[in-house]
Amino acid sequence: MWLLAPPPEGLSTAPTVGGMPADQPTILATSGGYRPSQRLQFEFDALVHHAVDLSGTRRSRPRITHLGTASGDQRSAGEAMTDAARVAGYDLVNLHLFPMPNLEDVEGHLLDQDVVWVNGGSVANLLAVWRVHGLDEVFRRVWRAGVVLAGVSAGSICWYAGGTTDSFGPALQEVTNGLGLLPYGNGVHYDSEQRRRPLVHRLVADGALPTTHCTDDGVGLVYHGTSLVEAVSEREGKAAYIVRQVDGEAVEERLEPRRL
């Protein structure tokens, strides 16, 4: 267990109407969540199921809302998520923002969910679209209410101060305007994309990113408030990492995750 910072003051853990929120603001930031399926495009792997477990829901069919904003709300991706949720025994709603929000009361809907899961793609575009629709502030309130915020890749980076991204082209660059619910940087796909680690180290050493939390594919990081409390994994031999600036250099610490 790693307790890195106290939860922010004033966080509300009061239940929402009809909802079963976690007992404190919770984020699960991952580089995984899916596994191959013989019948479907994919099925949910242990990280998605862990997000539901973290919610503490007692519903017979947990409620998940999926956002595919980072990939332009592709309907085929939403259908694949719906299929995976059906097999898992979850009720899933796709929140689309293109061409307009498909729900009249977005905040009210999100407050009645157990988990929000954000898919991958362009984190830069995701952040821009969310801010146009005021979702940056909505998600802060939903987080404070105890709905578990989770996601993969861009859906991980978005909750942090920033991270590394290919949103702007094949050459990885930094993004530094994340929602900032978590006051750290985030490095995803740390073991599967060779350019990620050296860029994280350079950005942390230069001060462009704060202390940065990174995940190999198949690994997730659990936060209560802004405190990192656990690393978890759906694959063997994977790890998480904390990269800090020490005397102007990046120093990396490996964290061994708990196998789900």
Identified catalytic residue from 31, 122, 153, 167: 153
Instruction: Let me know: does 56 contact 22? Beta carbons within 8 Å.
Output: yes
CA-based end-to-end distance of the chain: 15
Identified catalytic residue from 66, 189, 213, 224: 189
Indicate if 224 belongs to the active site.
Answer: no
Q: What is this structure's pTM?
A: 0.92
| Residue ranges of domains in the chain | 26-259
Q: Which of 156, 118, 149, 113 is nearest to 26 (CA)?
A: 149
Residue-level pLDDT at 6: 38
Architecture of domain 26-259: 3-Layer(aba) Sandwich (3.40)
205-223 pLDDT per residue, tens: 999 999 999 999 999 999 9
Residue 193, CA distances (Å) to 26, 33, 40, 209, 216 in order: 27, 17, 26, 19, 9
- Strands 227-233 and 219-224, bridge-based pairing: antiparallel
Query: Is residue 22 very low, low, confident or very high in pLDDT (cuts 50, 70, 90)?
Result: confident
Is residue 129 predicted with pLDDT exceeding 90? yes
Indicate if 55 belongs to the active site.
Answer: no
136-156 pLDDT per residue, tens: 999 999 999 999 999 999 999
